[in-house]
Amino acid sequence: MRTTVASASVTESAAAPMTTPKLQECRDCGQVQVVPAMPPGSRALCLRCDAVLRHTRHHPLVLPAALNLSALILFGVAGTLTVMSVSVTGQHRAASLFSGPAELAYYGFWGLSVVVLITTFAAPLARVLCMLTVLAGLCMKRPPTELRAIFAWVERLRPWSMIEIYMLGLYVAYVRLSAVAPVDLGPALYALGGLIGITVLADVSLDPQAVWEAMQPPNRRRARTREVFLDIGAASDAADRPRIGCDTCGMVSRAAQGTPCPRCGCLLRDRKPKSIERTWAYALAALILYIPANTYPVLTVIRFGAGTRSTILGGVRELIDYGMWPLAALVFFASIAVPVLKLIGLSILLISTQTGSVRRLRDRTILYRIVDAIGRWSMIDIFMESILVALVRFGTIRSVYPGPGALAFAAVVILTMLAARSFDPRLMWDNARPPPVPAGTRTDEIAA
Ligand SMILES: [Zn+2]
Ligand SMILES: [Zn+2]
């Protein structure tokens, strides 16, 4: 295996260099490259696939701390007050963030209840708390080493924090409900709206590499200021080992595979273990469950004693009947089209990787990024259902009960998300030749 080291391209927006140049592996294509010294507010792009390797910020620690603290306060408001309330024939019913999971558990849908609770409350709250713990810990003279494991969780929890999708699910529920009964929006809804904005800002203002560098053990930090490339070959007995990039913090070292990363302590792996096999397994399981997810009812609606069962497609048809074409198109796309497109996309990625194709690698990497990003949006229907089940409980006059299709559908969404996360896009690039190195760049070729 030959590894070429070259400089990533940097788009600068300020004058004085701030960061130390260092080696980093691109998580999308596996290219090891030097991320040069960067001023605040600039981006380093992978020279092979254009992935963002680093985006430096003007206040990489203070601003995220302030924003996460605000997010914690908004969580308190969103978790304790009413999200939405509805009145039917003089009876009033209000729902909070926990009403949906509580009602789903009441009807025996424990799995669905746990999924909704984790994605709308536990995961986003845990992310905020982890982030605050790390940023507070960095203020200490000697930051505890446990901070590294806590910060690793901030990134792991990211795809499972779905407040913005929950908000869209609430909107669809609001539209469906307001067609038949008066609906009032509660203060928790506005807190959730603020929370989404603040969480996005907190993520955007954070430079994860700055946090990892601040948490680096002191002896290695001193070594790196003396010699930029010291961290790749400090130990003489490790000099012949191939470089390995850390999946968690991005640091490149010559540590052995299966040993802890010198910076973040997570186990080093050249590629995700059994990536192709696990991705196929998750994708096929999702494909099988897609059938009951669309044929079994996701909801049973009782109107004056008579029950109507509704599938996902039935829900879309109902929105069309109300004249809500854009919303019907959104739900159709998110719930019916996205899982299918995602499975087709994953199959293309898997087959092209297994056949060793080196064609259109950049396009296939973009396809991978899209597949990884869109899958979670299919949860709209599950969140909409959880709020309808919580709000519409007026006995035989009008009630909504969850159906078994919802459980299968939630499983499809989670399995396709796991499939995308199991796939290692670097495998696609492994058959390709390294890119030509820009003139005047310090390079270092190793035969391993
Ligand atoms: Zn790349
Ligand atoms: Zn690491």
pLDDT digits (tens, 9 = 90+) for 249-281: 888 888 888 888 888 888 888 889 999 999 999
Q: Which ligand is nearest to the CA of 215?
A: 2
CB 279 within 8 A of CB 428: no
- Average confidence (pLDDT) over 427-442: 64
Confidence (pLDDT) at 214: 85
Mean pLDDT, the chain, as a whole number?
Answer: 84
Q: Which ligand is nearest to the CA of 47?
A: 1
Q: How big is the CA angle at 45 (ends 43 and 51), to the nearest 5 degrees?
A: 115
User: How far apart (Å, rounded) are the C-alpha atoms in residues 418 and 278?
Assistant: 9
Q: How far apart are the CA of 47 and the centre of ligand 1, in A?
A: 7
Four-CA torsion 246, 252, 258, 259, nearest 10 degrees: -110
Distances (CA, A) of 105 to 119, 161, 386, 410: 15, 21, 10, 15
For the cut 50, the answer to whether the pLDDT of residue 4 exceeds it is: no
- The burial of 323, by beta-carbon neighbours within 10 Å (0-12 exposed, 13-18 middle, 19 or more buried), is given as exposed
Confidence (pLDDT) at 401: 85
User: How far apart (Å, rounded) are the C-alpha atoms in residues 257 and 267?
Assistant: 8
Question: How many Cα neighbours within 13 Å face the side chain of 330?
Answer: 16
Q: Which ligand is nearest to the CA of 435?
A: 1
Confidence (pLDDT) at 223: 44
Closest by CA position to 369, among listed 29, 74, 100: 29
pLDDT digits (tens, 9 = 90+) for 74-97: 999 998 999 999 888 778 888 999
Q: How far apart are the CA of 8 and the centre of ligand 1, in A?
A: 9
User: How far apart (Å, rounded) are the C-alpha atoms in residues 49 and 393?
Assistant: 52
Q: Which ligand is nearest to the CA of 259?
A: 2
Q: Which ligand is nearest to the CA of 426?
A: 1
Ligand 2 (single-atom ion) residues, CB below 5 Å? 246, 248-249, 251, 261, 263-264
Q: Which of 63-72, 145-154, 203-212, 393-402 has the highest mean pLDDT?
A: 63-72
Q: Which ligand is nearest to the CA of 152?
A: 2
Q: Residue 236: pLDDT band by 50, 70, 90 thresholds? A: very low
Confidence (pLDDT) at 239: 59
Q: Residue 393: pLDDT band by 50, 70, 90 thresholds? A: confident
Distances (CA, A) of 387 to 43, 98, 186, 447: 41, 9, 13, 58
Confidence (pLDDT) at 218: 64
Q: How far apart are the CA of 262 and the centre of ligand 2, in A?
A: 7
Confidence (pLDDT) at 66: 93
Q: Strand 244-245 relative to strand 91-95: parallel, antiparallel, unpaired? A: unpaired
User: How far apart (Å, rounded) are the C-alpha atoms in residues 312 and 381?
Assistant: 8
Residue in the block written with tokens 């897609």: 290
Q: Which of 17-21, 141-145, 211-215, 337-341 has the highest mean pLDDT?
A: 337-341
Q: Which ligand is nearest to the CA of 252?
A: 2
User: How far apart (Å, rounded) are the C-alpha atoms in residues 131 and 158?
Assistant: 12
Q: How far apart are the CA of 4 and the centre of ligand 2, in A?
A: 20
CB 388 within 8 A of CB 175: no
Confidence (pLDDT) at 226: 39
Q: How far apart are the CA of 53 and the centre of ligand 1, in A?
A: 8
Q: Which ligand is nearest to the CA of 425?
A: 1
Q: Which pTM does this prediction carry?
A: 0.85
Q: Which of 242-256, 274-288, 309-323, 434-448 has the highest mean pLDDT?
A: 274-288
Q: How far apart are the CA of 19 and the centre of ligand 1, in A?
A: 20
Q: How far apart are the CA of 334 and the centre of ligand 1, in A?
A: 29
Q: Residue 176: pLDDT band by 50, 70, 90 thresholds? A: confident
Q: Which ligand is nearest to the CA of 245?
A: 2
Distances (CA, A) of 176 to 192, 297, 383, 388: 20, 17, 13, 9
For the cut 80, the answer to whether the pLDDT of residue 61 exceeds it is: yes
Confidence (pLDDT) at 16: 54
Q: Residue 57: pLDDT band by 50, 70, 90 thresholds? A: confident
**For the chain, how big is the Rg over CA atoms in Å?**
25
Confidence (pLDDT) at 11: 59
Q: Residue 439: pLDDT band by 50, 70, 90 thresholds? A: very low
